Structure 1
Amino acid sequence: MDARTIIGWNVRSLRVAAGLSQERLAFAAKLDRAYVGRIERGSENVTITTLEAIALVLAVPVSGLLMEPEPTAGRPPPMRAGRKPKS
């Protein structure tokens, strides 16, 4: 896996685990939602500053976005469609 694919994989996995949509992550990190989508697909060459902003929102160290996933790890799941139920 190349570095951009690893970063995209980790961003998506951590974002879904945190229950954030691409739009919410982008808003909190002051990024464009389409840019977050391109990062997750591995088609963007992100800067350290962008990685820091994403890591801050996801509450992980920047190094957590650079770690290669286990070979047996399945593709990160998508978010459940629809709105969250009201509490």
Structure 2
Amino acid sequence: MDAFEKVLGRVIAQRRRSVGMSQEAVAFRCKLHPTYISQLERGLKSPTIRVLRLIADALGTSGSELLVAAESEGANRPVHE
């Protein structure tokens, strides 16, 4: 996967931990499989717009905020494969 997916996954994981949710809780709220959430957070999968919105809603944020955070972090921090 692209470096951006890794950064976005890291942003999602950080946001999830900051609101005190487990991957399982996010998956349950989004009606997705916990393994899929794990793959997203590790940058192994790229979320669709629909999935990004579901996850953002579950985390109490917006998809655009997650994307902006990932773009900002990606511009300031190299990602190692």
Q: TM-score, normalised on structure 2? A: 0.80
Question: Are residue 18 (structure 1) and residue 19 (structure 2) matched?
Answer: yes
Unaligned runs of at least 5 residues, structure 1: 73-87
Q: Which moved more, 1:31-40 or 1:63-72?
A: 63-72
Aligned length: 72
- For 1:23-34, list aligned pairs within 5 A: 23-34=24-35
Q: TM-score, normalised on structure 1? A: 0.75
Q: Which moved more, 1:41-50 or 1:61-70?
A: 61-70
Cα distance in structure 2, aligned partners of 1:14 and 1:4: 15
Cα distance in structure 1, aligned partners of 2:16 and 2:35: 15
Cα distance in structure 2, aligned partners of 1:17 and 1:45: 22
Distance apart, 1:9 and its partner CA: 0.8
What whole-Å deviation, never above 9, does each CA across 1:10-50 have from its counterpart, x for those lacking one? 11000000000000010011110000000000000210000
Aligned-pair Cα RMSD in Å? 1.7
Distance apart, 1:2 and its partner CA: 2.3
Cα distance in structure 1, aligned partners of 2:22 and 2:46: 21
Where does residue 63 of structure 2 map in the other structure?
62
Structure of higher CA gyration radius: 1
Whichever structure has more helix as a proportion of its residues is 2
Cα distance in structure 1, aligned partners of 2:55 and 2:20: 14
What whole-Å deviation, never above 9, does each CA across 1:38-73 have from its counterpart, x for those lacking one? 00000002100000000001111111221232747x
SS in 1 for 2:45: coil
